[in-house]
């Protein structure tokens, strides 16, 4: 992918045209020296594989309990969705809704939408709603807090050790793996590169469709 892109530095706001870097390289601001953009190695194949693994592990984490507690001979366990259900039944409906959205709904939407966009661009399929989903993801990423949820669970388990026996179950390991793989996939994705690929595919697909329609009309 040759050429250049018009880019504004987030640090000094300098608008400049920079050459598209090669894989594994980056472009820097000519004014302040900060990194403007980079092009990760592996193309889109690596984030597709990582995001697919994250989605599979996330599904597995909902099939098994996250943590089991044993207190005075009684054993209690909870799943990812069970946390929201328990809060709902304890009259904490607002907290339950927030936990459900942040820990379950947003991660599912982000992972599936990201995989949808990546597959659409990698295999040049130009699937419907690719442009809208790519724009939507930029607004949704700040609400993705899977890593915060994992850290919160670890803190809660440390505090409960003195009061109960805490057993970390398979669901927690699967959820942790899903968060790690999703973060690794996101680190290999550059938004500017996705937009550039999308614009290129649109520029080549639309004229071809117009020529095909024109040919059918003439014939």
Those residues with Cβ within 8 angstroms of residue 58's Cβ, 6 or more apart along the chain or in another chain: 107, 108, 111, 174, 175, 178
Those residues with Cβ within 8 angstroms of residue 186's Cβ, 6 or more apart along the chain or in another chain: 47, 114, 141
Q: Is the dihedral of CA 46, 52, 55, 59 positive or negative?
A: negative
pTM for the structure as a whole: 0.85
pLDDT in tens, 122-147: 999 989 999 999 999 988 988 888 88
pLDDT in tens, 75-116: 888 888 988 998 899 888 999 999 899 889 999 999 999 999
For residues 22-43, give the mean pLDDT. Answer: 89
Average pLDDT score over the chain = 87
- Burial (CB < 10 A; 0-12, 13-18, 19+), residue 161, is exposed
- Burial (CB < 10 A; 0-12, 13-18, 19+), residue 174, is buried
Q: Is 13 left (phi over 0), alpha (psi -120 to 50) or beta?
A: left
- Does residue 2 surpass a pLDDT of 70? no
Domains in the chain: ranges and CATH: 1-39 (no CATH), 43-202 (1.20.140)
């Amino acid at each position: 992918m040759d050429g250049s892109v018009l880019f504004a530095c987030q640090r000094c706001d300098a608008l400049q045209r920079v050459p598209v870097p090669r894989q594994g390289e980056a472009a820097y601001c000519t004014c302040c020296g900060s990194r403007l953009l980079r092009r990760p190695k592996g193309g889109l194949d690596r984030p597709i594989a990582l995001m697919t693994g994250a989605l599979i592990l996330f599904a597995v984490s909902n099939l098994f309990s996250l943590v089991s507690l044993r207190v005075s001979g009684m054993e209690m366990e909870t799943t990812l969705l069970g946390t929201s259900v328990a809060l709902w039944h304890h009259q904490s409906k607002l907290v339950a809704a927030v936990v459900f959205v942040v820990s379950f709904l947003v991660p599912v939407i982000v992972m599936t939408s990201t995989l949808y966009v990546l597959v659409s661009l990698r295999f040049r399929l130009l699937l419907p709603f690719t442009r809208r989903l790519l724009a939507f993801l930029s607004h949704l990423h700040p609400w993705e807090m899977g890593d915060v949820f994992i850290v919160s669970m670890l803190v809660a388990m440390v505090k409960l050790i003195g009061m109960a026996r805490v057993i970390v179950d398979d669901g927690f390991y699967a959820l942790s793996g899903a968060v790690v793989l999703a973060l690794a996939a996101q680190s290999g994705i550059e938004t500017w590169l996705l937009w550039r690929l999308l614009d290129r595919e649109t520029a080549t697909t639309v004229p071809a469709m117009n020529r095909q329609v024109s040919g059918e009309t003439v014939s």
